[in-house]
Amino acid sequence: MTSMSIATRLVTADELLRLPRGTFRYELVNGEVQRMSPAGHTHGKVAARVTARMGSFVEEKQLGEVYAAETGFKIRQDPDTVRAPDVAFVSADRLKDAGVSAEGFFPGPPDLAVEVVSPGDSYGDVEAKVSEWLQSGVRAVVVLDPRRKAGTLYRTGAEVVFLTAQDLLAVPEVLPGWSLPLSAVFR
């Protein structure tokens, strides 16, 4: 018996950008489109609280830009990978160096990526995404789990930090002076 394989046509970041918007969001992993359902209300609430507090601080201090979940970051090419964290921060220096145009995905990883665990996410998939972010050059990744009311902070070359709802989230090497009580995120 002869085995047959079916070749899958890989998609580029530019083709992903042209996909129709609607019910689903998409990410691109090694050239393959991954369809994602819209976030649930708890997921959205947690991400919005982080975005609002981080965004206000970053804007006031003119540290760079904070991006919402719909923003794609092209973290690998040939084949392309475009990921969209729930919240992202890019420093002013990196923005200047990137020379970002008004269209297209950000060329490279953010400095900080925040992922909110959804009810349908497996912890293995979340860990794989964290690993991918760190390998792409993200300086820190925060994973927030609304079900457990807990967070985990991953940083390049540092030990993993586990946080409870009573702890303060701070990433001074990425956002000096910024902190966020997790009790405010999970209330």
Structure tokens at 56: 């206000």
User: Residue holding tokens 């990425």?
Assistant: 174
pLDDT (tens place) for every residue of the chain, 187 residues total = 444 444 467 878 888 877 777 667 777 788 888 777 777 888 889 999 999 999 999 999 999 999 998 899 999 998 988 899 999 999 999 988 777 666 788 999 999 999 999 888 888 888 999 999 999 999 999 999 999 999 999 998 899 999 999 999 999 999 999 999 999 999 8
Q: How far apart are CA 52 and CA 125, in angstroms?
A: 26
Structure tokens at 30: 């090694």
Ranges of each domain in the chain: 39-186
Residue 147: the pLDDT is: 93
The class level of CATH for 39-186 reads alpha beta
CB of 79 closer than 8 Å to CB of 10 = yes
